[in-house]
């Protein structure tokens, strides 16, 4: 009898020791000395034990068996998501498994600058090695293109089925103006093809535009203008002047010119057509036949010429009434306003001599 009791007690102790050993293997990290984070990849189609073996090989966990036991007992064998993860040996198996199940993969930091156009955004992603510029343009639109005449280019994807604010946008324009400039953190979901990734990034930017413009929807309606017209004007202001105050002043000037049928003659529209990163334009360039040319055609350009920030959009909604009709920007970024063409010509002679500054 004593022998049986001894065996039972020994067995119980062994079970307790084994359970403690497994518990410690699962809930305590391999290393508590401050190891550095490293990238761990799960490829699409990999199973639990293959993932566990890779974790052990990278010395992120103590034992692959513990990882397998934990995931199986939790019923999460089919929930581990593919992607790249930032892990360290300071993490326990349960913490690592939780990241895999939640899909907490490494996120790409994307910075879209105020005033960038589709051309800039396309090359930005290309330079980051994420996509080719043409892949972006095929979905969001090629810069400065009138799709009613462009028969040799694929038309951009119609996102108006997802966003009401795009329904009033003409079909012959892309998403220029609506890809809100901001800092984004994009999940690098490797299981997705490039087109799906780009579409997801575009939707994130459009979601942000929708969110940022929400407080001003009633204000836009009160102007009697469409959101498309407001965004188009905002894109001109973004490229023409720097400060919010100057943007409001120029907004007042440009809306006033539109109301009397005066050409806008905004140099930035010519730079948008040519793709040149300069405010210096030639007389010959002002004759380019493009619906974005505000020297050749009256009214607003065919669409936005960049993606404006919130200040520019607000300035387009809330123009400042003033007595000026002309303006120019000095090399130092100061805006000089003039009431008459004569005053404007004097200002040009004074401030633009031997320089390449913007004048309107």
Give the CATH number, domain containing residue 41.
3.30.1490.480
9 occurs within a structural domain: no
pLDDT for the residue numbered 188: 58
Whole-number Å distance between alpha carbons of 356 and 360: 13
What does the H/E/C string look like for the chain? Answer: CHHHHHHHHHHHHHHHHHHHHHHHHHHCCCCCCCCCCEEEEECCCCCHHHHHHHHHHCCCCCCHHHHHHHHHHHCCCCCCCCEEEEECCCCCHHHHHHHHHHCCCCEEEEECCCCCCHHHHHHHHHHCCCCCHHHHHHHHCCCCCCCCCCCCCCCCCCCCCCCHHHCCCCCCCCCCCCCCCCEEEEECCCCCCHHHHHHHHHHHHHHHHHHHHHHHHHHHHHHCCCHHHHHHHHHHHHHHCCCHHHHHHHHHHHHHHHHHCCCCCCHHHHHHHHCCCCCCCCCCHHHCCCCCCCCCCCCCCCCCCCCCCHHHHHHHHCCCCCCCCEEEECCCCCEEEECCHHHHHHHHHHHCCCCCCCEC
Does any domain span residue 360? no
Q: Same structural domain for residues 193 and 288? A: no
The answer to whether position 6 is within a domain reads no
The CA distance from 196 to 198, in Å, is 5
Asked whether residue 257 falls in the same domain as residue 271, the answer is yes
210, 236: one domain: no
pLDDT single digits (tens) 184-212:
988 755 445 677 889 999 999 999 999 99
Crossing angle (nearest 10°) for helices 2-27 and 93-102: 50
pLDDT score for 321: 95
Domain annotation covers residue 331: yes
- Out of 105, 120, 138, a domain closes at 105
CA 106 to chain CA centroid, Å, is 17
- Do 31 and 87 fall within a single domain? yes
Strand pairing partners for 87?
38
State how far the Cα of 244 lies from the Cα of 59, in Å rounded to an integer.
Answer: 54
In a domain, 183, yes or no: yes
Calculate Rg over the CA atoms of the chain: 30
When pLDDT is cut at 50, 70 and 90, the band that residue 154 belongs to is: confident
Cα–Cα distance, 169 to 357 (Å, whole number): 32
- 215, 239, 259: which is the final residue of a domain? 215
Q: Which residue has the higher pLDDT, 249 or 94?
A: 249
Q: Are residues 176 and 143 in the same domain?
A: yes
185, 300: one domain: no
**Tens digits of residue pLDDT in 37-91:** 888 999 988 999 999 999 999 989 888 888 988 889 888 888 999 888 889 888 8
pLDDT tens by residue, 93-120: 888 999 999 888 888 889 999 999 999 9
CA 348 and chain centroid, separation: 38
Pair 263, 303 in one domain: yes
Domain that holds residue 133: 108-215
Q: Do 207 and 112 reside in the same domain of the chain?
A: yes
- 313 to each of 180, 212, 215, 251, how far by Cα in Å? 11, 10, 12, 10
Is residue 120 a part of any domain in this protein?
A: yes
138 and 203, same domain (yes or no)? yes
278 with 305, same domain? yes
Does position 6 have pLDDT exceeding 70, yes or no?
no
Dist CA 55 CA 68 (whole Å): 11
pTM over 0.75: yes
Number of domain units in the chain: 3
- Whether 74 is in a domain gets the answer yes
149/33 same-domain check:
no
| Residue 109 in tokens | 């930091």
Strand-pair partners of 111: 183
Could you tell me if 304 and 345 lie in one domain? yes
Q: State the average pLDDT for the chain.
A: 88
Across 257-281, average pLDDT? 92
Q: Is residue 306 part of a domain?
A: yes
Q: Which of 196, 215, 234 is the last residue of a domain?
A: 215
């Amino acid at each position: 009898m004593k022998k049986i009791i001894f065996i039972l007690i020994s067995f119980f102790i062994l079970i307790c020791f084994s359970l403690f050993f497994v518990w410690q293997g699962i809930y305590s990290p391999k290393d508590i000395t401050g190891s550095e984070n490293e990238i761990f990849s799960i490829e699409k189609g990999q199973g639990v034990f293959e993932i566990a073996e890779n974790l052990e090989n990278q010395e992120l966990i103590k034992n692959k068996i513990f990882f397998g036991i934990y995931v199986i007992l939790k019923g999460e064998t089919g929930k581990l998501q593919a992607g790249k993860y930032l892990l360290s040996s300071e993490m326990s198996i349960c913490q690592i498994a939780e990241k895999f199940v939640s899909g907490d993969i490494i996120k790409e930091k994307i910075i879209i600058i105020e005033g960038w156009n589709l051309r800039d955004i396309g090359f930005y992603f290309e330079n980051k090695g994420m996509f080719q510029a043409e892949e972006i343009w095929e979905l969001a639109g090629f810069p400065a293109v009138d799709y009613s005449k462009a028969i040799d280019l694929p038309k951009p994807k119609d996102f108006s089925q997802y966003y009401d604010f795009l329904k009033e946008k003409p079909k012959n324009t892309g998403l220029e103006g609506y890809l809100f400039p901001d800092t984004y953190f994009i999940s690098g979901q490797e299981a997705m093809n490039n087109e799906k990734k780009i579409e997801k990034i575009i939707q994130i930017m459009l979601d942000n535009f929708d969110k940022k413009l929400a407080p001003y929807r009633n204000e836009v309606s009160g102007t009697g203008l469409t959101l498309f017209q407001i965004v188009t004007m905002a894109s001109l202001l973004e490229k023409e002047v720097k400060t919010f105050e100057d943007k409001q002043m120029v907004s007042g000037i440009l809306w006033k010119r539109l109301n009397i049928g005066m050409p806008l003659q905004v140099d930035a529209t010519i730079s948008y057509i040519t793709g040149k990163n300069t405010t210096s334009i030639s007389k010959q360039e002002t004759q380019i036949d493009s619906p974005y040319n505000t020297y050749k055609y009256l009214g607003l350009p065919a669409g936005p010429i960049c993606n404006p920030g919130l200040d520019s959009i607000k300035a387009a909604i809330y123009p400042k009434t003033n007595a000026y009709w002309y303006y120019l920007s000095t090399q130092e970024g100061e805006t000089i306003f003039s009431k008459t063409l004569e005053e404007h010509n004097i200002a040009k002679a004074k401030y633009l001599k031997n320089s390449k500054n913007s004048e309107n």
